[in-house]
Amino acid sequence: LTVDPATGDLLVLDRGGRPPQAAAPSIVTVRPDPLTVTRTKLTSVREPLSLAVEPDGTLLLGDGGDQDPAGPDGFAGTLRRIDRHTTPWTETALLPAANPLVAPTGLVRTRAGTLYVLDAGLKPFFPSTDDPFICPVAEHAAIYVVDLTASPPTVVRTTGPGQFVYPTGMTAAGDDLIVSDPGQPRHLGLS
């Protein structure tokens, strides 16, 4: 959920189903005056986890990728640029397949232009009801600095292990980052 500062539109990232259902992602644009609601389906996004508006109006989206990867080639998540200036919208993966992101749950660009990415480090991001403690990927949750202008883009971890449990969102207030971390999710039958 974010607001486009240029238009005042509310942009809602909709997963399109509850786990364990496969995601059917879309972005819902709510224009306040006159009130209109438009849904745009996303075609390349597998597990939408975060959304941010860039200064030029394009969107950055954190994609957790395949939640049941067959092997190491499917372990990484990615960032995608969604260009809303084209019809249909274009979706471009911004990071190489081998990158340290797993579950990018927060995206923030500071006023200095630095892109910070909050990553929960878990795949699947939503725990399985059958085996809630079995994950193909279980990395330490962290904040990364991502430089998309480098060739290839760089992804550098800025926080150490044990700083977060299950971080689900992030925002910036001036030069400070504010992270939402509700802790370990409750599982049915377990206390």
Nearest to 25 by CA among 1, 53, 48: 48
Is 37's pLDDT higher than 50? yes
Q: Which residues contact 49 (CB under 8 A, 6 or more apart)?
A: 62, 63, 64, 77, 103, 104, 105, 120, 125
Neighbours of 153 (CB within 10 A): 15
Question: Token pair of 173, please?
Answer: 């207030």
Model pLDDT, residue 134: 77
What are the tens digits of pLDDT across the range 53-85? 999 999 999 999 999 888 899 999 999 999 999
CA–CA dist 118, 116 (Å, integer) = 7
Instruction: List pLDDT tens digits, range 90-120.
Output: 999 999 999 999 999 999 998 888 999 999 9
State residue 187's pLDDT score. Answer: 56
pLDDT, one tens digit per residue, over 145-189 is 999 999 999 999 999 999 999 999 999 988 899 999 998 876 554
Q: What is the pTM of this model?
A: 0.92
Q: How many residues does the chain have?
A: 191
